[in-house]
Amino acid sequence: MSSPVEPANDTHATSGTGRSVRFRVSRFKQGDRKPHYQEYAVEVAPETTVLDALTAIRRDQDPTLILRHSCYHASCGTCGMRVNDTEVLACVTEVTELGGGPVKVDPIANQRLVADLVTDMVDFYDKFTAVDQPLVRGSDAIPAATVPPGVPGFTRFENCIECGLCLSACPIVATDPRYLGPAGLAAAQRVLEEPREADAFSVLRLTDDPQAAWRCHLAFECTAVCPSNVDPAGAIMFLRRRLASDRVKSIFGSGWRP
Ligand code: SF4
Ligand code: FES
């Protein structure tokens, strides 16, 4: 490489002398038995992000590298990955924060791997549907929304950017794919706070299950990695308190006091 990575956009404007950093990037193509690492050297400037470096690899060294990104500012959730074994958004993770390298880059865990750094998010999105918070086309949900031809719009669950980092970091999701998971449970908690059109009672009953609110082992990894302050672990604790309180009331009556 000859020159420092060009900034992805104005917010990543860089200056200073570039230095070469080694990247170990997980590679996988359909038909491979398992992923393997491939090394690249990238010259980075002080504010180069991991996403800047990966797109530079793809542009200048290896166009077969598959990754997903869109907004470049921690808004769309598509660039979630594991960098040095920690779940991050690559677009806001500066290479200089990571020490001298090499920088290890893996796809998020606990989702079916499609290719290189891209996983299939369908199971993850299904968990939102289960708690009555499906991702729907904005043009269906908001009739007045203007969506450019060929570009589907989507409604979102509050602060959650559907990055999947919490699922990747959760030790329970790693061992039990039936677990509703931190993002789905956080979505359920929001339904209880603000039901709008959703059936809050049904959603609460759905969380009262060994594979839902009671499955969490309080690792709090989800909250630690969430880039959007959703606090899924806090939401799960809220659900448990609500479920426990409802049970006590159903046994002793609503006038019961400890
Ligand atoms: S709860 Fe946080 S970590 Fe999980 S998908 Fe939503 S934004 Fe990402
Ligand atoms: S590219 Fe959109 S969150 Fe990183």
SS3 state at 52: helix
Please tell me the predicted confidence (pLDDT) of residue 255: 65
Asked if residue 37 lies in contact with residue 82, where contact means CB atoms within 8 angstroms, the answer is: no
Give the residue, out of 88, 126, 223, 226, with the most ligand 1 atoms within 8 A of its beta carbon, to mutate for a pocket test. Answer: 226
Residue 25 phi/psi, 5-degree rounding, is -110, 130
Task: Measure 226 CA to ligand 1 centroid, in angstroms.
Answer: 5
Any long-range contacts for 199-206 (C-beta under 8 Å, 24+ apart)?
A: 199/132, 202/132, 203/131, 203/132, 204/239, 204/242, 204/243, 204/246, 206/130, 206/131, 206/180
Q: Where are the alpha helices (DSSP H) in the chain?
A: 50-60, 122-130, 138-141, 165-169, 171-175, 182-193, 200-207, 221-225, 232-252
Task: Measure 71 CA to ligand 2 centroid, in angstroms.
Answer: 5
Tokens (6 digits) for 34:
């398992």
Task: Measure 7 CA to ligand 1 centroid, in angstroms.
Answer: 26
Task: Domains for the chain: give ranges and CATH numbers.
Answer: 10-118 (3.10.20.30), 121-252 (1.10.1060.10)
Q: Partners of 27 in the beta sheet?
A: 36
Asked if residue 23 lies in contact with residue 38, where contact means CB atoms within 8 angstroms, the answer is: no
SS3 state at 252: helix
Please tell me the predicted confidence (pLDDT) of residue 209: 93
Task: Measure 225 CA to ligand 1 centroid, in angstroms.
Answer: 8
**Spatial separation of the C-alpha atoms in residues 110 and 44, rounded to whole Å:** 30
The pTM of this model reads: 0.84
DSSP line for 77-128: -TTEEEETTEEEEGGG-BGGGGTTSPEEEEPPSSS-EEETTEE--HHHHHHH
Please tell me the predicted confidence (pLDDT) of residue 74: 95
SS3 state at 60: helix
Per-residue pLDDT of the chain (258 residues; tens, 9 = 90+): 334 554 444 334 333 457 999 999 999 999 999 999 999 999 999 999 999 999 999 999 999 999 999 999 999 999 999 999 999 999 999 999 998 779 999 999 999 999 999 999 999 988 888 887 766 555 555 556 666 666 555 555 578 999 999 999 999 999 998 999 999 999 999 888 888 777 888 999 999 999 999 999 999 999 999 999 999 999 999 999 999 998 877 777 766 565
Give the residue, out of 75, 94, 165, with the most ligand 2 atoms within 8 A of its beta carbon, to mutate for a pocket test. Answer: 75
